[in-house]
Amino acid sequence: MIIEKIRADFPILSREVYGKPLVYFDNGATTQKPRCVVESITDEYYSVNANVHRGVHFLSQQATELHEASRETVRKFINARSTNEIIFTRGTTESINLLASSFGEEFMGEGDEVILSVMEHHSNIVPWQLLAAKRGIAIRVIPMNDKGELLQDEYEKLFTDRTKLVSVAHISNVLGTVNPIKEMAAVAHAHGVPLLVDAAQSIPHIAVDVEDLDVDFLVFSAHKVYGPTGVGVLYGKEEWLDKLPPYQGGGEMIQHVSFEKTVFNELPFKFEAGTPDYIGTTGLAKALDYISAIGMDKIAAHEHGLTEYATQRLKAIPGMRIFGEAGKKGSVISFLVGNIHHFDMGTLLDRLGIAVRTGHHCAQPLMQRLGIEGTVRASFGLYNTEEEVDVLVAGIERVSRMF
């Protein structure tokens, strides 16, 4: 993997902020886009644009072919069995809301339970709370140890005959913990319960194979995997998706409508009401093709090396506290230095051209567990380098000296 060549594919990486070269370490929030993704968007608007699925004319058919080819690209990328199992949504958040709504409506009632973990993003907590308010379901929470690893014994103990679903993050967006999804799915299945995995932070960084993991549902966002904003994916095993009612009603998701009775469309269209972001899905496919050509194993190895290097260098800074020291960790480092407020650290690093995230990272229950208000988070992508880590370390040392 030749990093200079990769960096050249991302025009934004050569810009400056405050007269300093940009060091972009906020990949957990969103990733930058390679030229091929941006160009696919402009090209399709300029030369193909037409609404999909409905037109007999040339452009509509070409746009439909591109859109459906993107579904196949996603299917292949996560190794799903069929494109019927790939639902396009607006993102991870919408995918989880879709499931909470449809799965909740069909399978959950008063007193039923969903198991989440203490390290979930708000988007994998609040939809279940909305369902709890509507239907009286209960939320059970898998605790973790101080390293940020979920306690598997405690997880097993949470199952009751009212457990209907487990929903956990593959990789924590704060701690970087890689959760043992395959094992957790096996435990859930032993109890006859399906498992939903929030793969927002894993899809960009490690190879994800839904067959191998044997998960029932998996969700992610295009914008975190070098694709455009506004597009996401819900993968679901066909046997589950077949049983779920539609999420929204409208065009595309029907086969026949009369005022007396409407027949819903088949999978995957049953869950895709209205005009989809067909330009965005092409962009997502381009992004997946781009990283596939580099190789997920190479990306994972590069980011792993970078995270190890950064961890070791950061740990040498006096007063450094790193949150999340799981045995298996992704390319996310959350930290605090001495008594310096995360917001001050982030703001001062920004002046040095370094983009990091500060705050609770949409994981306030996790912050409560850690007994803090927030952290500074550096999250790496495939284009980041050790030289950039050196700039971060020098920046933190400089900020530390000011306090």
Of 37-45, 187-195, 196-204, 207-215: span binding ligand PMP (CB under 6 A): 196-204
Which pair of structure tokens corresponds to residue 75? Answer: 């299917």
Which of 169/253 has CB closer to ligand PMP?
A: 169
For the bound state, the minimum distance from the C-beta of residue 176 to ligand PMP, rounded and expressed in Å, comes to: 11
Of 194-202, 254-262, 300-308, 330-338: span binding ligand PMP (CB under 6 A): 194-202
Contact pick of 40, 70, 123, 265 for ligand PMP (by CB under 6 A): 123
CA distance 245 to 309: 48
For the bound state, the minimum distance from the C-beta of residue 276 to ligand PMP, rounded and expressed in Å, comes to: 16
Contact pick of 93, 117, 167, 281 for ligand PMP (by CB under 6 A): 93
Told to check if 33 binds ligand PMP by CB under 6 A, we report: no
The contact pattern for ligand PMP, residues 12-31, with x = CB under 6 A and - = no contact, is: ----------------xx--
Which residue among 362, 367, 372, 393 is the active-site one?
362
The region that residue 268 occupies, defined by phi over 0 for left and psi between -120 and 50 for alpha, beta otherwise, is alpha
For the bound state, the minimum distance from the C-beta of residue 30 to ligand PMP, rounded and expressed in Å, comes to: 8
Which pair of structure tokens corresponds to residue 370? Answer: 């850690």
Contact pick of 40, 201, 331, 379 for ligand PMP (by CB under 6 A): 201
Q: Which residue has the tokens 């993997």?
A: 1
Which of 221/334 has CB closer to ligand PMP?
A: 221
Helices (H), 332-385: 342-351, 364-370
SS3 readout for 251-305: CCCEEEECCCCEEECCCCHHHCCCCCCHHHHHHHHHHHHHHHHHCHHHHHHHHHH
CA distance 95 to 198: 9
CA distance 220 to 348: 32
* Residues involved in catalysis: 362
What residues line the site for ligand PMP (CB under 6 A)? 28-29, 91-93, 121, 123-124, 169, 173, 198, 200-201, 221, 362
